């Protein structure tokens, strides 16, 4: 599932900025790969990138058209289809983050096959992964885990990769969700893997590496989420992470999507992740906390971070406000 940058980001007819969330993430983390954006007439999202036609971006070197937007009702409209077909003709691969597989649309499939282009449906792994072996392997791994879904696990992992590299540490962000896969140019959407292969997918994604190398793995879900905990556990076991970073959004009223379920405390979430992680990596421990305080004032954010440090005895940062230097300093480098 490797994608070739540079990208042209297709926003289609996104009704608002949130619908272009994936594209926003790519433009934020990989500006050097994003030559421009392509918007249909009624698009209401804007990444602040140059508006380029397919032809202009192709001439500027773009190799992949990225569908980084949610579409209405899962339907690929004629306007979208015309754009994607034209992109194939101009020499683009098309990488798609929709649930709907582009490869199952006969017109697209035939055109891509005839032209030798690739349709990359990132939500649908294109290769079988093995069952996890549980065998120890060389290299280091850090996994971002969370009290809940959508608390900033991808953001924290990318910030850690950047900070590690800045310090000259060999580090690779490993993507497990669609936005992460576009940002990394590869990876696997773990939530779309067949259940028996979750841990195997995590092993495949983070293979044996040089003794001083760090894979920084994007976590998914939460061990405390009644819908997704199995994914989180498979990922925890498969990565064999010796370091965990616990991600959290202060102030959530309940677990995402399930109002009957309240959030675990940081301490109890740390304890359970360490306990279960030690099955495959006896050294597994949480080295710090990444709090998403975007909804808080500067003063409230400072209070939330101080409270989290008091409760856990671990360094706590908001990666977006303060960077992750203090987390990297807590790693056994």
Q: Is 195 in the site for a second copy (CB under 8 A)?
A: yes
Whole-angstrom distance, CA of residue 246 vs CA of residue 264: 12
User: From the CB of 238, what's the least distance to a second copy, in Å?
Assistant: 8
User: From the CB of 107, what's the least distance to a second copy, in Å?
Assistant: 22
Of 13-21, 62-70, 164-172, 196-204, which part binds a second copy (CB under 8 A)? 196-204
Which residues lie closer than 8 Å to 313 by C-beta, 6 or more apart?
A: none
Taking the least distance from each CB to a second copy, the nearer of 33 and 197 is 197
Q: Is 46 in the site for a second copy (CB under 8 A)?
A: no
Of 35-43, 159-167, 223-231, 291-299, which part binds a second copy (CB under 8 A)? 223-231
Contact 38, 51 (CB under 8 A): yes
Q: Which of 42, 89, 196, 283 binds a second copy (CB under 8 A)?
A: 196
Closest to 182 in 3D by CA, of 12, 13, 101, 68 = 68
Q: Is 188 in the site for a second copy (CB under 8 A)?
A: no
The sheet carrying 285-291 orders its strands as 171-174, 214-217, 140-146, 243-248, 285-291, 316-317
Of 28-36, 73-81, 228-236, 243-251, which part binds a second copy (CB under 8 A)? 228-236
Which residues lie closer than 8 Å to 123 by C-beta, 6 or more apart?
A: 96, 97, 98, 99, 101, 178, 189, 192
Q: Is 228 in the site for a second copy (CB under 8 A)?
A: yes
User: From the CB of 149, what's the least distance to a second copy, in Å?
Assistant: 11
- What b/e sequence results for 190-218 when a residue is b if at least 16 CB atoms lie within 10 Å of its CB, and e otherwise? bbbbeeebbbbbbbbbbeebeeebbbbbb
The interface mask with a second copy, positions 229-258, x = CB under 8 A, is xxxxxxx-xx------------------xx
In angstroms, the Cα distances linking 313 to 268, 283, 299, 305 are 13, 18, 21, 11
Q: Is 194 in the site for a second copy (CB under 8 A)?
A: yes
Taking the least distance from each CB to a second copy, the nearer of 199 and 314 is 199
Q: What angle do CA 226, 121, 81 make, to 5 degrees?
A: 120
Taking the least distance from each CB to a second copy, the nearer of 44 and 99 is 99
Q: Is 224 in the site for a second copy (CB under 8 A)?
A: yes
Whole-angstrom distance, CA of residue 48 vs CA of residue 63: 20
Footprint of a second copy (CB under 8 A): 131-136, 190-196, 198-200, 224, 226-235, 237-238, 257-258, 260-261, 276, 279-280
């Amino acid at each position: 599932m490797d994608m070739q940058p540079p990208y042209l980001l297709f926003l289609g007819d996104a009704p608002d900025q949130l619908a272009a969330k994936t594209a926003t993430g790519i433009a934020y983390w990989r500006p050097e790969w994003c030559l421009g954006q392509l918007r249909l007439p009624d698009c209401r999202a804007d990444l602040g990138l140059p508006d380029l036609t397919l032809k202009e971006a192709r001439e500027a070197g773009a190799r992949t058209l990225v569908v980084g937007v949610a579409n209405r009702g899962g339907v690929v409209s004629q306007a979208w289809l015309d754009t994607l077909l034209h992109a194939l003709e101009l020499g683009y691969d098309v990488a798609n983050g929709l649930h709907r597989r582009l490869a199952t649309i006969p017109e697209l499939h035939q055109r891509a096959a005839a032209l030798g282009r690739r349709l990359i449906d990132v939500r649908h792994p294109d290769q079988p992964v093995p069952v996890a072996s549980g065998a120890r392997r060389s290299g280091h791994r850090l996994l971002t885990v969370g009290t809940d879904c959508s608390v900033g696990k991808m953001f924290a992992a990318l910030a850690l990769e950047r900070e590690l590299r800045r310090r000259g540490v060999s580090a690779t962000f490993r993507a497990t969700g669609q936005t992460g896969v576009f940002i990394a140019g590869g990876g696997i959407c773990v939530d779309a893997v067949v259940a028996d292969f979750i841990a195997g997918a995590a092993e495949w994604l983070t293979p044996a590496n040089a003794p001083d190398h760090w894979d920084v793995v994007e976590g998914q879900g939460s061990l405390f989420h009644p819908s997704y905990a199995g994914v989180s556990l498979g990922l925890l076991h498969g990565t064999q992470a010796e370091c965990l970073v616990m991600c959290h959004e202060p102030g959530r009223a309940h677990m995402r999507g399930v109002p009957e379920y309240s959030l675990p405390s940081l301490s109890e979430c740390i304890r359970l992740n360490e306990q279960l992680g030690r099955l495959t990596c006896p050294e597994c421990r949480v080295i710090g906390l990444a709090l998403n305080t975007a909804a808080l004032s500067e003063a409230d954010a400072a209070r939330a971070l101080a409270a989290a440090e008091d409760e856990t005895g671990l360094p706590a940062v908001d990666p977006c406000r303060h960077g992750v230097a203090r987390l990297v300093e807590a790693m056994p480098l």
